[in-house]
Each structure stands twice: as structure tokens, then as C-alpha cells.
Amino acid sequence: MTPTETVLYAIGISCAGGLLVGLFSRNKVLAGWINFLITVASGALILYGAATTLLRGPAAAATIYTLPLYGSALRISVDGLSAVFLGLISTIAIFSSFYSIRYMTHYQEYGVGRFYPYFQFFIAGMYGIVATTDLMVFFCFFWQLMTLPSYALIRYEFKQRDNVRAANKYLLMMEISCALVMLGVYLLAGTAPVTVAGETLMRFDFDAIRERVGTLAALPAGTGSLALLLLLIGFGIKAGMWPFGQMWLPDAHPAAPSPVSSLLSGVMIKTGVYGLMRSFLWLMPSHGSDWYSPSAWGAALAVLGTLTLFFGTMQALKQEQSKRLLAFHSIGQIGYILLGLGACLALLSPGKDSAGLTALAVIGFYGALFHTMNHGLFKSLLFLNAGSMLYATGTQDLNRLGGLMKYMPLTAITALVASFSIAGVPLFNGFASKWSIYVATILGSSYEGSRHAGYLALCGIFGIVTSALTLASFMKFFGVSFLSRASSLVEEKATKKRSLEVTPTMQIPQLLLALFCILLGLVPGLAYHLIHLSLAASNQGLAARLLSAAPAQTNLLIALPAGTGLAILAPLTVGVILLVMFLIGQFISRVGAAKRRTAEVWLCGYVRDADVYRYSAHNLYTEVKRYFRWVGGMPRHARGIAPEIKTKKSISGNP
């Protein structure tokens, strides 16, 4: 079975499964298990096809159906880049479907007949959008297959007007995004089919357009640049790029049930990243062209990425609702990916033949794609963490939470791992990918031959400072939720049952995602090797230059090289040293036989242990929030919206 066949079968299984699972919707648990098995079946095919592509190289594309009148054909192709995205989508989909088995039983006012069928169609659309080579009719078809079911999932709790408004904004922005991309493609495409390697391709096929872009100098001035601008804005809207992401993402992602939130932030917005990588690296010829300047577009992407990561993170710092905080951080983390991609383009410009400069450009791309994978893992985990907190307490208002670690220890541990990962704490996966981006931006700005890329250092410094802000934000997220003494709400819930911890079907996905975050943090060479295989299996366009300067694939399990020996990252070695030091400290402590005692917590003079005496999310970082009020993103309750969920029946998104 070829990789293209596995994608077709997976899409067919998901679509047929969407129809099948609706027949069992009266039994929520049974429908959940059937949905999970369908997702595993389609996901296993996708993972097999992706692995085959990475290990053996891409198979020939398969043309299923042709529409000559519209210049389009349903042509499926799986190369190294699409294999990585397909693998990420299928992995998160499997975890989310397993988590939803028990989670969805908590909705007493809503049935799953409006959830699981759309869940399957949503997954099928994402599979198709990264595997089709057609950029017009069938691109639009898969886009709608991805967008319309996700719209229905966002408005799952349709009785809440805020959810419906969020879904409507989401639908409007996604259709605008689709229209802009298709208009950009129309400007780049020719007027007749193109023959490539003996195969006749419709004019809107990706490979046909790539074949033609070398002749675009004959087009009216600015046509090619306008087309790329439309692609940048179109895919940027999908990815959540500033300023467009703020228009829809912070409302849409929290409104959906938590398993869907993990898919929206974890993988769906990555289809926009996929489109940007395809457009600016794989679509453009390796020799360059008169109308396409990688330096200029790299600068635009790097600056937009810096603005996106700063504004998204600063707005997240202000939030007091768990899922809304995570949604703003999705915007911020997309900024890091755009910064890495921009640095790659800025340093990869044709004519810059310095081996060291090209090597740093490769590190920038590795950082961008690595962070794409990492964000899919830790952001999906964080939304599942938030869903577990919501499931146990009935609220996502951080001001009403506290002390959950005592009652939800496994959720607390996995949330801590995810928080460290997204904040870029060393030894966790987020640090490894951000380190790659910092190396490319800071070293690349001063490298010989990069005199026009000095701005990259400033962008990298902004990224480092913003990473500290991310850590501050997740100190709030984790601290006010799991640490301190239990809040009155948590104590009230705990009196009804001894443990608030969620069921094993909700724990296992969180645990596995946390283990992935730790594994890629300690051994990031695994991801580097995966990206190397991806480049080797998609050696086309401007991206072909990346493979020639890829890092050596030896000793990656021990350390990550960067550039020409200018930097090195060895997290596993550092981890072993820290572990040895910790064990020595423990040994000295035991030898000293110091006495340990427990005492009541001092309440600073207050006698009563009441919520009014506790630091809440609202009280943290007040001066920072005051001085950066101009960035926007005020908390929901500050605009007059109630900060807590009033009943246990409705738990998805609206606080």
C-alpha cells in the first residue's frame, strides 16, 4: 500500500466513520469508543504512510479525478513535509478521541450526535488539505471539509450565545482566508495544463505552478508579489498570525469542547503554517527569480512573527480564564514558528553562498518545524489539562481555583510538564526548538555576508524576553490552579468525593503527551533526524538548498550542533549532571540526619482561611498589565462577562 493510498483510505474511513458513529449517538460512551476506534484505524494508516515516505522516499502522486474545465484535479501526494504534518494530525486526533470518551458524558443538555460525526469529518478535512496538490477546486473542498465541521464543533453548546458568536467569527475568518489563498493561486497559475516529468498537470496543481514561477518575470509588475502577499495573509489568518489571530482565535478555541480545543490549537492552525512553508520554500525555485526576494519576505515573516509572539503572549498574561489564556498563547507560539521561518528565508537568499550562513538558515527552518511539532504536543496537552480542571470543578475561572494538586496529582504533574515546555524551560521540548530559533536569529544577524539581517538579533532578543513572559503566565496558570491551599470551590467539590482526578481514559492521553514533551526535550536529536528525513523526502524548490547544509546526523542523541560549530546543545548530558547533583544533595541531607517538622501555614496575621485572603489570578502582574494595557486582550470579565460557569451541565468553553 502506497502512502497516497493510505491517505485516501484514511479520508474514506473518517468520512464513513462520521456517518456510522452518528447511529450510536444515544449511548455516549459506546459512541465515544466507536469514534476512538475509527480514529485509530484512519490514524494508523496515516502514520504508516508517513513513516513509509520518510524512510523510503515519496511515492508517485495519484490523480483520482480531473476537472479540465476548472483547471483542477484531485491529485494526492505525500512527500516529507506533508508526512510530518499528517503524522502530527493523526497523533493528536487519536489522543483527543480517547480523551473525549468520558469527557463528553458530562454534557447533560447536549447529545454526541452533533459531536462525533463532525469530529471525523474535521479530521478527514485536515488529512486532505495537507495531501492534495490541487490549489483551487479540491483545495477549497478539503478546506470546507475542515472548516464547516469545526464550526459546528465550536458552536456545540449552541444555547450559549457567546459560543455561537465565536463560531460565526471563526467561520467568517476562515472563508476570507480560503478566498485570499485561492486568489493568490489564481494570480500565479498559468492558463493551460503543464507537463512536468512526463505527466500532464492541471494549471492549478502545485507542481504546475512551481514549474511556472520561473517565468513570472513576464507578468505585469507586482503580480507575483501581490500573489505572495495574498498567500501570506490567507495562510496567516489560518495560523493565527498577528493581527488577524486576535480577531477569531481567543473566542473560538475556548468555546469548543476541550478535545476539540486541543485539535484546533494543536494541529488545525498548523495547516496555515504548512501553507506558508509550502508557499515560501517549496513553491519558489532554488535559483531564485527577479520578482521573489527571500530576504525581503524573510524580513516580513520575521517581523510579523516577532509582533505575533509579543502581542499574543502579553495578551495571554492578562487572562484569568484557563482556556482563553491558552488560546492567546497559541497566537504567541505561532509567532516563534514564523520567526524561525523568516530567519531561514532571510539567511537563505540566492547569492549568499556562505556555508555557515546557509547552515544557520537550516537551523532556523529546523527550529520552525520542530516548534510546530512541539506546540502540537504541549498545547494539546494543556487544553486537555484545562478540560480536566473544567470537568472536575465546573469552571475555568482561575480566580476560583487553588489546591488542585492534592486532588488531581497526575493532571497537576502533566500540566507542570506542559507549562515548562511552552515556557522554554531547559530539558523540555519547547526549549530545544526555541534554542534553534535563537541561534539562527542571533548568530545569523552578525555572520559574515548577512549585513542586511541585523534586525534578526533584535527579533531573537524579543523572543527570549517573551519566553520569560510565557513562564510568568504559566506560573500564574499552574500556581493559582494547583498550588496553595484549596479554594472554597475546590473544597466544596472535594467534600462530595475524595478525589477529583479524572478517569483513566482522560489521564492516559495527558500522560503520553507529557512523556513526548520530556523525551524530545532530553533527546531533541530525534526531532532533528525526523526533519532531516522530511527534507530528504521533499527535495524541491528553494527548500532543496536546506538539505545540502543540514546538520550531520551523527551523535544527535547526545547533542545538537548549530551552524559551523558556533553553538551546541546537550540537554541529556545536562540532565544527567543535574540528576547526579540532586542525588548527592539527597545523600548529604540523609547523612546529616536533620530533623523535619510540619507546622501550620502562617496566614500573615489573618485568622480566617478565606478566599478573600488568597492571591488570585486577577492580583498577579497588575503593574505589568497596567503599563501594557495598550496591547489589548482584556480579560473577559473586565468587559462585563461573568467569570464562572454557573452550572455543571455546561462545561466546554464559555466561562
Give the model confidence (pLDDT) of 517-527 as tens digits.
Answer: 999 999 999 99
Q: Is residue 362 part of a domain?
A: yes
Mean pLDDT (the chain) is 89
pLDDT of residue 565: 62
- State pLDDT tens for residues 59-81: 889 999 999 999 999 999 999 99
- State pLDDT tens for residues 387-425: 999 999 999 999 999 889 999 999 999 999 999 999 999
Query: Per-residue pLDDT averaged across 638-648, rounded?
Result: 39
pLDDT grade for 578, boundaries at 50, 70 and 90: very high
pLDDT of residue 317: 94
Give yes or no for a contact between 449 and 352, defined as CB atoms under 8 angstroms apart: yes
Q: Is residue 574 part of a domain?
A: yes
pLDDT of residue 605: 65
Alpha-carbon Rg for the chain, nearest whole angstrom, is: 25
Query: Model-level pTM?
Result: 0.93
pLDDT of residue 305: 96
Q: Is residue 510 part of a domain?
A: yes
Q: Is residue 77 part of a domain?
A: no
Query: Per-residue pLDDT averaged across 639-650, rounded?
Result: 39
- State pLDDT tens for residues 164-215: 999 999 999 999 999 999 999 999 988 888 888 888 899 999 999 988 887 6
- Cell numbers at 459, concatenated: 527579533
Q: Is residue 462 part of a domain?
A: yes
Among 105-114, 121-130, 450-459, 529-538, top mean pLDDT goes to: 121-130
Q: Is residue 158 part of a domain?
A: no
Packing angle of the helix pair 409-423, 355-393 (nearest 10 deg): 150
Q: How many domains does the chain contain in total?
A: 1
Give yes or no for a contact between 381 and 416, defined as CB atoms under 8 angstroms apart: no
Please give the Cα distance from 570 to 564 (Å, whole number): 16
Residue 458: give the domain boundaries.
Answer: 293-655
pLDDT grade for 253, boundaries at 50, 70 and 90: very high
pLDDT of residue 653: 44
The gap from C-alpha 641 to its chain's centroid, in whole angstroms, comes to 28
pLDDT of residue 164: 95
Q: Is residue 355 part of a domain?
A: yes
Query: Per-residue pLDDT averaged across 23-37, rounded?
Result: 95
Please give the Cα distance from 610 to 488 (Å, whole number): 8
pLDDT of residue 223: 85
Omega before residue 243 within 30° of 0, cis = yes
Cα angle: 405, vertex 613, 604; to 5 degrees: 100
Identify how many contiguous H helices and E strands the chain contains and give both numbers.
Answer: 23, 6
- Cell numbers at 297, concatenated: 519576505
The amino acid present at 430, given as its one-letter code, is: G
| Inter-residue long-range contacts of 25-29, CB under 8 Å, 24+ positions, other chains counted | 25/111, 25/112, 25/113, 25/116, 26/111, 26/113, 28/104, 28/105, 28/111, 28/112, 29/101, 29/102, 29/105
Query: Per-residue pLDDT averaged across 568-574, rounded?
Result: 86
Cβ-based burial of 4 (10 A; exposed 0-12, middle 13-18, buried ≥19): buried
Helix (H) or strand (E) holding 64: strand 62-67
pLDDT of residue 559: 73
- State pLDDT tens for residues 319-350: 999 999 999 999 999 999 999 999 999 988 65
Give yes or no for a contact between 572 and 557, defined as CB atoms under 8 angstroms apart: yes
Q: Is residue 547 part of a domain?
A: yes
